[in-house]
A = this chain, B = another copy of it.
Amino acid sequence: MRKSRLGLTAKQLNEILCNGLPRAAELQLKVEQANQGTCKLRLPYSEQSLRPGGTISGPTMMGLADAAMWISVMSQLGDVQLAVTTQFNINFLRKPPPTDLLAHGQVLKLGRRLAILEVSIYSEQDETLILAHATGTYSIP
């Protein structure tokens, strides 16, 4: 039974994130909360993340959502850093304001081989208005 396995804490997951993903470290991406299949990540605002129109680029939000999926899996399963994305889908709903972004991740289903994840992205100004919504599948080693 997977359910008896021990998920990692926000602090442990933050170390994995910074050590494992040079790009996440560069962006100062941070795990703020994590608990048994759910997590909250913060992406600080950076001009490096902009695109024409002065808004935060799509791939920046994709990277945030994908990281929140990875962290969600480990918050429930423990240290499975080699879990990899097999499929990822994202809808962009609203133009993000020039602020920090927050990603709320959660495990929808944890099977033996695959995990299905959902992530909603908000601005720090309004954690009720979804800016982007992603779903994805991780293959568990």
Contact = CB atoms under 8 A, between A and B. Distances in A.
Interface of A: 16, 20-23, 26, 47-53, 55, 57-60, 62-63, 66-67, 81-82, 84-94, 108-109, 113-114, 116, 118, 130, 133, 135, 137, 139
B137 A116 contact: no
Given A88-B89, A93-B116, A135-B91, A59 B51 contact: no
B47 A89 contact: no
Nearest to A130: B108
Contacts of A84: 51, 53, 55, 58, 92
Contacts of A116: 91, 93, 133
Contacts of A48: 22-23, 26
A141 to B, nearest CB: 9
Q: How many protomers of this protein does the assembly include?
A: 4
Contacts of A137: 86-87, 91, 137
A140 to B, nearest CB: 11
A63 B90 CA distance: 13
Contact of A20 (B16, B20, B52, B91): B52
